[in-house]
Structure 1
C-alpha cells in the first residue's frame, strides 16, 4: 500500500527547475494552476505492476478524494484517511484500525502538498512523445531522478492537452519493475458529506476491531 501511495504522490508531485525543458515547464505550470484551483478532487484509477523477468503482473483499482489538507484513500480493500490531525488506516481483512498522530506530511503519504500542488523536488524533466488515445491528445513529459541512489529509472507523465488533467503515469524501476497508474475518472468540486473525513472510533469498537494508537 505504501508503494501505491508513493506512486500516487509522484503522479501529482513534480518539481520545476530552471535547467529543464521550457515546453515541459510551461505544460506542468498549466496543470499546476488547473489542479490547484479546485475545491476538491476525486480520482478513480487503475494500477498495474509488471516485472516480466520475475513473471509478475498485478492489476487493481482504487480511488482517492482530496479536499485541502484532508484525504480519503481506498485501495486493496483498505482505507486510509487523514482528517487534518490524525491518520486512520482501516484494514477490514485483519479487523484492525491504526491511528497515528501526524501532520499529514510523512514520507510516502498522500498530502495536499504532494497531490494537489503537483510539485516535488528531485527530478529533471523533458518534453517527450505525444499520443492519440481514443481521441484524446496525450502529451508525455519524461522525468529522471536527480539522485543516483533512487530506485526509479524513469517516469513518463501523460497529460491531456485539452483538459490539462493527468491521464496516466508510467514508472520504470531500476530492477525492471514497471508501474502504470491510469486515471479512469477525474472529478472536481463534488458535493461531499460533512462527515466524509470524520473517523467514528465507536463504530469500529462495536464491530470488534483491534484499534492501535501510535
Structure 2
C-alpha cells in the first residue's frame, strides 16, 4: 500500500500539473487576444490613414433602426459631402451645413433654420468626418468574423465602449479588406435597439463647387432663422 506521504505527494504533483496547464492555457489565450487586438489596431490605423489621405469624400448611405421588442423597423437614406472638417449632410429631410465655423440646420418641413457655432476642438462634438475615425478612442477592439458580401471581403472588428455610461453594448465595424473603406457600422444598444449604417457608394477627390459649404440665406426667404450663438 502507498504511504500517506506518497499519496499527498502525488496529489500535489497532479494539482501543480493542472495549475500549470491552466496557466499555460491562459497565457496562450492572452497572447492570442493581444495578437488579435494588434491586427485590429493595424487595420483601424489603415482605415484612418486612408480617410485622411483624401481631399474630399462623398458618401451615399442607408440607415436602419430596429427594435424587435418595441416593434420598430425604420429605414432611411442620406448622403454627405466632406472636405477637411467642412460638410453638407442630407438626412431624413434635413440638411446640415458646416462651413468650418458655424453649423446651419435647415428644416424645410418647418421652414426653419438653426445657426450655431461648433467648437471643433471639443472631443464630444460629433461631425461626419469624425464618424469615419470615431473608433480611435473610447473602445476596446478585437477582430471578429470575415464575410464575403457581394464578392467583397468584409472584415468586422468588434468595438466595446469603455465608458459605463455608453448606452451601446457593442459596435461592429465592417471594413472592406481591399479598399480599407468602411462598408457598414452595426450598433447594438443595451436595451436591444440595433442601428445599421451601410455605405452604398464612397467617392473620393471629386470636383466640388467653391460654394459647396457656404450657406446662402437668400435661398430661404420665408424661413425663420434661429440663432443660438
Q: After the TM superposition, which of the residue ranges 102-111 and 151-160 deviates more from structure 2?
A: 102-111
Counting matched residue pairs gives 194
Q: CA deviation at 1:101?
A: 2.0
Matching of residues 44-83 of structure 1 within 5 Å: 44-83=60-99
User: Given that residues 94 and 106 in structure 2 are in contact (C-alpha distance below 8 angstroms), is that contact kept between their aligned partners in structure 1?
Assistant: yes
- Identify which of 16, 37, 46 aligns with 1:30: 46
Q: Which runs of 5+ in 1 are unaligned?
A: 1-17
- Identify which of 166, 186, 194 aligns with 1:150: 166
- Decide whether aligned partners of structure 1 residues 151 and 118 sit closer, same or farther in structure 2, where only a CA change above 3 A counts: closer
TM-score normalised by length of structure 1: 0.86
Partners in 2 of 1:140 and 1:39 — Cα distance? 26
Q: CA deviation at 1:32?
A: 1.2
Partners in 2 of 1:181 and 1:115 — Cα distance? 11
Q: After the TM superposition, which of the residue ranges 169-178 and 116-125 deviates more from structure 2?
A: 116-125
TM-score normalised by length of structure 2: 0.80
Q: Which runs of 5+ in 2 are unaligned?
A: 1-33
Aligned to 2:109, the other structure's residue is in SS state helix
User: Given that residues 119 and 125 in structure 2 are in contact (C-alpha distance below 8 angstroms), is that contact kept between their aligned partners in structure 1?
Assistant: no
Partners in 2 of 1:133 and 1:19 — Cα distance? 26
Q: Which runs of 4+ in 1 moved over 6 A?
A: none
Partner of 1:109: 126
User: Given that residues 99 and 211 in structure 1 are in contact (C-alpha distance below 8 angstroms), is that contact kept between their aligned partners in structure 2?
Assistant: yes
User: Given that residues 99 and 212 in structure 1 are in contact (C-alpha distance below 8 angstroms), is that contact kept between their aligned partners in structure 2?
Assistant: yes
User: Given that residues 123 and 145 in structure 1 are in contact (C-alpha distance below 8 angstroms), is that contact kept between their aligned partners in structure 2?
Assistant: yes
Partner of 1:212: 226
Partners in 2 of 1:104 and 1:198 — Cα distance? 18
Aligned to 1:21, the other structure's residue is in SS state helix
In the alignment, is residue 89 of structure 1 matched against residue 112 of structure 2? Answer: no
